[in-house]
Amino acid sequence: MSSFPAPNFRLDGKKALVTGASRGIGLAAAVALAQAGAHVTLAARSKDELAAACKDITASGGHADFVVLDVTDSAAVDHLITNQGPFHVLVNNAGMNRPKPLVEVTNEDLDDIFDLNVKSVFYASRAVAKSLIAAKQPGSIITISSQMGHVGASNRTVYCASKHALEGMTKALSWELGQKNIRVNTICPTFIETALTKGMFEDPTFKASVVSKIALGRVGHVNEVMGSVVFLASDASSLITGSALMLDGGWTAA
């Protein structure tokens, strides 16, 4: 049995940074990482929500702090990571969607979605990798992509383009960083009940069409992303890089 040590899902002694951690999937990811023993820095723009989340985590015995950060500001991202890094785990979670028919998408929509969904992920990944390489430490970069990084869908031209970009970025980064023992992967959820999807699900016809494409016959809950975040952050996934972990309830298996 000694040649088969139990897989290690613990993150004691690790520092983690989660973007978009004030609510939704990012908040669940931050809680999960803290439960696994990491010291977690929660980053987003909403100070009160971040402070409440930190208070909850520390009240439960976890270690956490927060920073008010707009992740589309590359100088601010660099400043945080240079001064508070190296972070051994980065969860690039902050993201947005503005579902619209192609002909109604404005240049501003295109810029806003790419600034947040793609460019901010590049900024944070670059800064975290730089500080880990300088410190000669291993790391795990996890990006919350989407099933929409693997398929297309109506009213989601820009969102799908942004998530497909993350899949390509992740594969390239895995080759850039593999020799430095920094792993890079995506998590690709199906529709999860959060503030992002609340408005969409107010249309019962839309919700029914979504559920009909999920083999499990239901949408997801934020808690169902937590295990995958801890798995990819930990040594239990030590051979996984450049991969996409599909949390799509079977959507892309059709």
* Phi, psi torsion values for 227, nearest 5 degrees: -60, -40
Min dist CB 13 to ligand NAP, Å, is 26
Q: Which residues of 203-231 are buried (b: 16+ CB within 10 A; e: fewer)?
A: eeebeeebbebbeeeebbebebbbebbbb
- Lookup result for tokens 């820009």: 158
- 158 counts as binding ligand NAP under rule CB under 6 A: no
Amino acid letter for position 15:
K
Residue nearest to ligand NAP (CB): 95
Q: Which of 56, 65, 70, 109 binds ligand NAP (CB under 6 A)?
A: 70
Q: Which of 9, 56, 72, 211 binds ligand NAP (CB under 6 A)?
A: 72
Residue 218, SS3 per DSSP: coil
- 62 counts as binding ligand NAP under rule CB under 6 A: no
Residue 40, SS3 per DSSP: strand
- 249 counts as binding ligand NAP under rule CB under 6 A: no
- 109 counts as binding ligand NAP under rule CB under 6 A: no
Q: What is the DSSP track for 144-180?
A: E--GGGTS--TT-HHHHHHHHHHHHHHHHHHHHHGGG
* C-beta closer to ligand NAP: residue 20 or 86: 20
Tell me whether residue 159 is one of the annotated catalytic residues: yes
Q: Which of 116, 142, 177, 232 binds ligand NAP (CB under 6 A)?
A: 116
- 210 counts as binding ligand NAP under rule CB under 6 A: no
**Going residue by residue from 16 to 35, which x/- string records binding to ligand NAP, judged by CB under 6 A?**
---xx-xxxxx---------
Pair 201, 207: CB distance under 8 Å = yes
* C-beta closer to ligand NAP: residue 76 or 133: 76
Q: Which of 30, 192, 229, 233 binds ligand NAP (CB under 6 A)?
A: 192
- Lookup result for tokens 């989407």: 146
Residue 95 per-residue DSSP state:
-
Pair 176, 193: CB distance under 8 Å = no
Binding residues for ligand NAP, rule: CB under 6 A, are 19-20, 22-26, 44-46, 49, 69-72, 93-96, 116, 144, 146, 189, 191-192, 194-197
Residues designated catalytic: 159
